[in-house]
Structures are given as structure tokens and as C-alpha cells.
Chain A
């Protein structure tokens, strides 16, 4: 278990961040293989349960959506923003490491930013202590 490749689940919004990841791909920007992308219709679709459940199996979670003001559905990411602030704070409260769950805004034009963020998140999670999968992994 110890030397296995760490996994990071990335929930990317269809309209911006997923296209940003796509652009990173076609632009041949390198980013670490930790990232497992799940395409979601909007960052507003991210139920807190998705994040908590992903941590049962993965070592980290990245959530990315359109920049505020650019949402395909006008306000999906703005409503999600309040929720994200609470999720992040709650996870910190119960003793999760700072870098375990991360959020960012990545537009469809920011292929380079996606590669940077993915590299940064993967690097931070590599440096964190072994994740216990909510106490299920020994």
C-alpha cells in the first residue's frame, strides 16, 4: 500500500475546468498521473457527499469550476462557493490536512493553470502523511 501511486479525484466542471484540462492535454502540458478526472455539469453539482465519499478511496480531492461570473448556468459556482467555504472549514475542523481537499477556479482557456494546479495538488498530497481512508486503511 505504502509505495502505491497516490490518487487524486478531480471534479471538473464541464464548461470550464474540464475544457481547461482538455486544453492542457492538446497543448501537451505535463501534469502528474495522480489526477483522475470526473466530469460534472457544474461546480454547483458537487454534493459534499462526493468529496467525503471520494476520500474513502482516494488520497485527495480537487474541485474546479468556472471563475465567478463565468458560470454557464449564471450562478452555479456562486452558490457552490458558499458551500465550498463551509466544506473546507469543516474538514479542517475535524483535523484533515490543509492540502487534502482543494478548490480552485480554472477557465477553459487556462490549460497551463490546470497543469500547474494539478502538479501543485499532486505534489502536496505526495508530501502529506499516508491517508487512512477515513480510518479504513491501515
Chain B
């Protein structure tokens, strides 16, 4: 059986047994090569599922929209987002059934290290893939002169139209009240002035630091093609180097910014690491 047949068979089984009220997956989109999230509630609707290049949206975002038990077809980044959502009490593990499958859009994400599901109740395919992420894109940027980096960053930030698509699509951004919309106090200017854009994006990057799993949803959602993954991936690299951990891989480990060690590195001090 192919992966898709496995997925469909499991989805039908779950729906027939009334174990779940809906199975979240992908159907063919209206544009060639694009797939759209699809919510199958009957066994007939399951037939519309596809699993192919283009199924790259992060489906974890939809879990909180349902109150009953939900099935979800999850690739690597979906399962890592689900792990984070469970840990942060946004999703109840008992309430979801995870059908794990390898990401069908291989190659679309730079050096994806976890194309297969990290947790699942059922694996639609068993192939284990092991990729290495060398952060070569981040390192190449670090090599540039500081003026070059600043110019590139300012240029990227000036493209932003503040539609907040990056936030809306992000599975780590589930706050009911976001700082960007707060008026009392008004934390952030609402204009598309360069300064407001920069403050928004830097703060957003810090908000998802240690929880962002580099699924790339923000980059794909951005209508202005702002290079958001550069900032997110920089912090992923730092987290790995400074704290030797990677977000969204285990249900037990605390998010990296929620805990501390007595001997955490402090390279930011005025006199350097040893000045205390």
C-alpha cells in the first residue's frame, strides 16, 4: 500500500469507529502544485485526501479549532508543533490522534532535519530519514560585514506591509491577545514605518524563540517574501550552540527559555563571560 492509501485507510477506520469527529489533512488546491487544508468528517470525504509535494502548510494550527477528538495527518514539523502545543497546554494529547507520515514536500525546506513525525499514534510509513542541518545559510550571513547585514535586514523589513499573516499562520503564535494589537498600552506603532516593522519582527522572533521549529509557515504565508526564516534560524542555531537543545522534540523537556542552568553561558556581559 502507498502512504496515501495507508493514511486514507486509517482515517476511514477512525471515522467509522467514531473515534474522531474530523480528520485534518490536505486536499488538492485550486492552483497546480498547491494543496489546501481539508477537514474530512465522513469516509466519502476521506477520498479527497492527497499526500504530495505542496502539502507543506503546518496543520497543527487547526487543532485548537475543534472541541471534540480530532485526527491529524502530521509530517515532521506538524508533530513538533503539536509537541509544543501539548507542553504549553494548548492541546490535550488525549484529544488528538496523530497519523504520522514523512513530509512529501522534500527539498522545499532548506535542510529539514525531521521530515518524519516525532510522535504519532500510527505511522503511515516507516522509512526513517536522517538529514543534517548545517545552518550554512545563517553562517553565510554571519560572514558579511555588519553594514551589509544591517542594509539587508533594513531592506527586508521595509518590504513588510504588516498584514500579520506570519503571525496568524504560526502554530507558536496562539495568544488570544497579541502585543501588536494592544492599545492600552500601545506597545508597538501600527504603521509600516521601518522602525515599527523592525520592532515587530524582532519581538516576534524573540516571542517564538525556543518554540519555533522552523516549519517555514511564516515564510510561505508572507505575501511580500520577507526573509523571516533568517531570523528564526539564527536563534535556532544559537539555541543549539548555547544551550545544546532543539525545540519540539520531546514532551518532557521544558522549552529552552522556560528553564535555566546554574552555569548557563553569559557571553553578553560587558566584561565577557568571565567578568563575574
Q: Does A30 contact B (CB under 8 A)?
A: no
Closest to A94 in B: B153
**A9-49 interface bits toward B, Cβ cutoff 8 Å, 1 = contact, 0 = none:** 00000000000000000000000000000000000000111
Interface residues of B (CB under 8 A from A): 141-142, 146-151, 153-154, 158, 179, 187-188, 193-195, 198-199, 202-203, 205-207, 209, 231, 234-235, 238-239, 242-243, 256-260, 262, 264-271, 275-276
The answer on a CB contact under 8 Å between A105 and B150 is no
| Chain A to chain B: the 10 pairs with minimum beta-carbon distance, closest first | A95-B150, A134-B195, A95-B149, A135-B194, A88-B268, A48-B206, A78-B260, A94-B153, A95-B146, A136-B195
Closest to A80 in B: B260
**CA gap between A78 and B262 in the complex, in Å:** 8
**CA gap between A53 and B276 in the complex, in Å:** 28
The number of residues on chain A lying at the interface, defined by a beta carbon within 8 Å of a beta carbon of chain B, is 39
- For A68, list chain B residues within 8 Å (CB): 262, 266, 276
**CA gap between A78 and B269 in the complex, in Å:** 13
Known: A89-B238, A90-B206. A135 touches B195 (CB 8 A): yes
The answer on a CB contact under 8 Å between B270 and A85 is no
The answer on a CB contact under 8 Å between B209 and A86 is yes
The answer on a CB contact under 8 Å between A135 and B257 is no
The answer on a CB contact under 8 Å between B150 and A82 is no
